[in-house]
Structure 1
Amino acid sequence: MLKEHTLAACKGAGVDFPPTKQINPILLAYIGDVVFSMYIRLRLLPLSSHVRIVHDLGSRMVSAVYQCQAMQELEASLSEDEQAIFRRGRNAKSMVPKSASVHEYRMATAFEALLGYLFLEEREARLEEFMDKSFDIITEKMNAKKEAGK
């Protein structure tokens, strides 16, 4: 519904929405970041009524480090077209923040580009499957880190 509304707004403004496969992978990652951030925060809402707790936990879960770990586990399950988007996202040149290594950041960019692609292509079932599995992997990794810290 969101994409349909956006397409209608673009068309009303006389602007054509580009084909998904022609969109810069950094822009796909930008969309994927928004989609995954919202998904994570909605999944965390039942855990606490305190904004700070949901924000802090959500921020850690959407970090490049954890997205990289999820992507590494899910990479083998990608279809051919998903692998192409993954490679474009991973190989895209951008600034790497200090909070992640170059490898982690590129894998996270590939992860987000793939989510952006699935969202824009309206492949809801695959998007949901990918985000659900990612959430489970990230939760498992965070719990393992917490246990190791005790």
Structure 2
Amino acid sequence: MFEDVIGSMRRDFDIKPKDVMNLHPLVLAYIGDAVYEVYIRTMLIINKRTNVNMLHKMSVKYVNAKAQSDIVHRISDMLTQDEQDVVRRGRNAKSATAPKHAEITDYRYSTGYEALIGYLYLTNSTDRLMEILELSVEEE
């Protein structure tokens, strides 16, 4: 279901994979953050039928720098070389803002994770995107 929506939405825009690699990693993270947030919200409303306040509190468990940093460390061995490069570029990107509620290291790895999600979304790698998203929410 989610992959159909994401795939359909992405197909409406024409961007070539080589052009995606030329985007600044913070641009990839920008779109990746949105895709990940929609995935988490969708998962929660389907699996946890509750009020909006509780849904928000549950989503924070997944959508924060520490959680996303932990995901990158947990799945790094499963990433292709290109995916690892995207994470590295995102992690090393210089941001004009500093994290308010996170360690700088977690914030950087989180940016790398979001860049990966953005990269997979923009390259229309829907199957791989879904695989990474599903791995991301697996309990250890």
Q: TM-score range by the shorter chain?
A: 0.7 to 0.9
**Structure 1 segments of 4+ aligned residues over 3 angstroms from their partners:** none
Structure 1 unaligned segments of length 5 or more: list them.
11-15, 141-150
Residues 10-67 of structure 1, C-alpha deviations (whole Å, 9 max, x = no match): 9xxxxx9x81001110010011100000000111013023111111211331101100
Task: Among all aligned residue pairs of Structure 1 and Structure 2, give the percentage whose two residues are the same amino acid.
Answer: 36
Question: Match for residue 13 of structure 2?
Answer: 6
- Would the aligned equivalents of 2:11 and 2:124 in 1 still touch at CA under 8 Å? no
Aligned match of 2:77: 76
2-structure distance, mates of 1:133, 1:5? 27
Aligned to 1:135: 137
Checking the alignment, whether the CA contact within 8 Å between 2:65 and 2:106 is kept in structure 1 is: yes
- Aligned CA-pair RMSD: 1.9
Q: How many residues align?
A: 131
| 1:49-89 alpha-carbon deviations (Å, 9 max, x no partner) | 31111112113311011000111111111111111111100
Relative contact order higher in (CA < 8 Å, ≥ 6 apart): 2
3-state DSSP of counterpart to 1:98? coil
- SS of the aligned residue for 1:56 comes to helix
Q: Distance in 1 between matches of 2:80 and 2:11?
A: 25
SS in 2 for 1:6: coil
Q: How does 1:1-150 map to 2 (within 5 A)?
A: 1-7=8-14, 19-45=19-45, 46-94=47-95, 95-137=97-139, 140=140
Aligned to 1:100, the other structure's residue is in SS state coil
Q: Match of 1:19, SS?
A: helix
Counterparts of 1:96 and 1:74, CA distance in 2: 25
Larger Rg over CA atoms: 1
State the one-letter code of the partner of 2:33.
Answer: D
CA–CA separation in structure 2 for the residues paired with 1:5 and 1:77: 29
Equivalent residue letter for 2:9: L
